[in-house]
Structure 1
Amino acid sequence: MSGDQVDMLRRLLFAQRGGLPNRTSTPGLRRRNMSIFGYTVTATKRSPQPKAPLRERYPNGHVFARSFGYGLMAYISMHIFFDHFFTWRATWGPSMLPTLNASGTTVIISKYYRRGRGIEVGDMVSFKHPVQSEINAIKRVIGMPGDFVLRDTPDQGDGTMIQVPTGHCWLVGDNLPASRDSRIYGPVPLALIKGKVIALWNNWLEFPKSVQPAFQDVQDVQDKG
């Protein structure tokens, strides 16, 4: 035998005679007897330990995953709600005085009425400005397709009446002297209507107030008179 083989046998014998601690009682260790050059050698091998469940290995992982899932569901729900049902916006400008304040009034808009669905004369609507497309404005409907409306401000112009074309509406601000509306840019396509104003919110400490069409307001005044 070569010197290397002798040295290996010595180390194996040393292990067999107690040089290595007895680990048969240690969990996860397996013993196996092998015969090498006539000598019996006991070899040990550690069994693979089963991995702990993910919840034990990452105690905070399931909390994060659950929170992320709830947050994602809330985001999707809010996106669907505001994209298809309702939204709100703050008003600015004097064109709808005294119905809407120049600033500080929040209007609640129902998107059920977008593209002119269910819109009637007297409704306040939110729409994309036909000239400045980056602006969303709020005006009142005073003419629907087929209606005849006064083209100019009352007591001004020549009193010309025009008929609202198909697929359009005539929008005017309540504060005529301060409003730029259909009297300037003409009939507005119904496709530009974003929704109908259904409630006003002037104070965050109060409940929103529902909005009724202008012709209903007139009827209420006549009934009281």
Structure 2
Amino acid sequence: MADLQVDMLRRLLLAQRGGLPNRTSTPGLRRRNMSIFGYTVTATKRSPQPKAPLRERYPNGHVFARTFGYGLMAYISMHIFFDHFFTWRATWGPSMLPTLNASGTTVIISKYYRRGRGIEVGDMVSFKHPVQSEINAIKRVIGMPGDFVLRDTPDQGDGTMIQVPTGHCWLVGDNLPASRDSRIYGPVPLALIKGKVIALWNNWLEFPKSVQPAFQDVQDVQDEG
């Protein structure tokens, strides 16, 4: 114990006289002089080192940033595509039989025709239901503004004809007995039209061979009329 104290005093004396190497010359060290029992002691403290560049701290960071950027671009592109150009949806319900199956038919909808732009009699359109706004339905156009249409189902009612008002269209289902359409809720505003059905298919296993253009069904209806 005595030898340790002597050694400590010797080191303190050497430090006071400059006998010990100046450790402040070491990069990153700071020196501070203190007086202990009459002896001057040099205390050193390591300075904080500057942070390394982000590329060195996160060597894979650029990969993550690039992947995130590509994913964001893909999401924005898909959102624009499905919101302004085309979309697809599965149909259900018997109102459009036999053109569309009660379930399992997928349709492609062109957003170019939304709000009634370019819509003609005979087109199948997707629209927001005028009574149940949370539902999107698909019906066939049989009357445009200014056209006269039969208000009731053929061979039923009194055969009253009404004129489709401006800015509206008359929509019915191909399967009249099972369809709730303009015969019930009246003319539909063109502003509610979300798009036009341009193609459909009934079997995913045979895609794309089973894809059928929707206008072919329209032509069949016109020929039968």
TM-score, normalised with respect to structure 1: 0.76
CA contact (8 A) 1:167 1:190 kept: yes
Residue 15 of structure 1 deviates from its aligned partner by 3.8
Equivalent position SS for 1:108: strand
Q: Distance in 2 between matches of 1:11 and 1:157?
A: 117
Q: Are the structure 2 counterparts of residues 139 and 46 from structure 1 closer, same or farther at C-alpha, using a change threshold of 3 Å?
A: same
Q: Distance in 1 between matches of 2:179 and 2:205?
A: 30
Residue 182 of structure 1 deviates from its aligned partner by 0.6
Residue 53 of structure 1 deviates from its aligned partner by 2.1
Write the mapping of 1:125-204 to structure 2, written as runs, cut at 5 A. Answer: 125-204=125-204
Equivalent position SS for 1:81: helix
Residue 125 of structure 1 deviates from its aligned partner by 0.5
User: Residues 203-223 of structure 1, C-alpha deviation per residue, up to 9 Å, x if partnerless?
Assistant: 223345799998865756999
C-alpha RMSD over aligned residues: 5.3
Residue 146 of structure 1 deviates from its aligned partner by 0.5
Q: Distance in 2 between matches of 1:219 and 1:40?
A: 105
CA contact (8 A) 1:125 1:195 kept: yes
Q: Distance in 2 between matches of 1:47 and 1:115?
A: 69
CA contact (8 A) 2:95 2:174 kept: yes
Q: Are the structure 2 counterparts of residues 104 and 114 from structure 1 closer, same or farther at C-alpha, using a change threshold of 3 Å?
A: same
Q: Mean Cα displacement is larger for which, 178-187 or 215-224?
A: 215-224
CA contact (8 A) 2:99 2:217 kept: no
Q: Are the structure 2 counterparts of residues 192 and 32 from structure 1 closer, same or farther at C-alpha, using a change threshold of 3 Å?
A: closer
Q: Mean Cα displacement is larger for which, 113-122 or 39-48?
A: 39-48
Percent identical residues: 97
Residue 156 of structure 1 deviates from its aligned partner by 1.3
Q: Are the structure 2 counterparts of residues 214 and 176 from structure 1 closer, same or farther at C-alpha, using a change threshold of 3 Å?
A: farther
Q: Are the structure 2 counterparts of residues 112 and 20 from structure 1 closer, same or farther at C-alpha, using a change threshold of 3 Å?
A: farther
Equivalent position SS for 2:55: helix
Residue 201 of structure 1 deviates from its aligned partner by 2.6
Q: Distance in 1 between matches of 2:51 and 2:95?
A: 70
Equivalent position SS for 1:90: strand
Q: Are the structure 2 counterparts of residues 223 and 27 from structure 1 closer, same or farther at C-alpha, using a change threshold of 3 Å?
A: same
Q: Distance in 2 between matches of 1:209 and 1:122?
A: 25
Q: How many correspondences in the alignment?
A: 225
User: Residues 120-165 of structure 1, C-alpha deviation per residue, up to 9 Å, x if partnerless?
Assistant: 1111001111111111110000000011111111111111111110
User: Residues 41-71 of structure 1, C-alpha deviation per residue, up to 9 Å, x if partnerless?
Assistant: 9998978755432111122322222222222
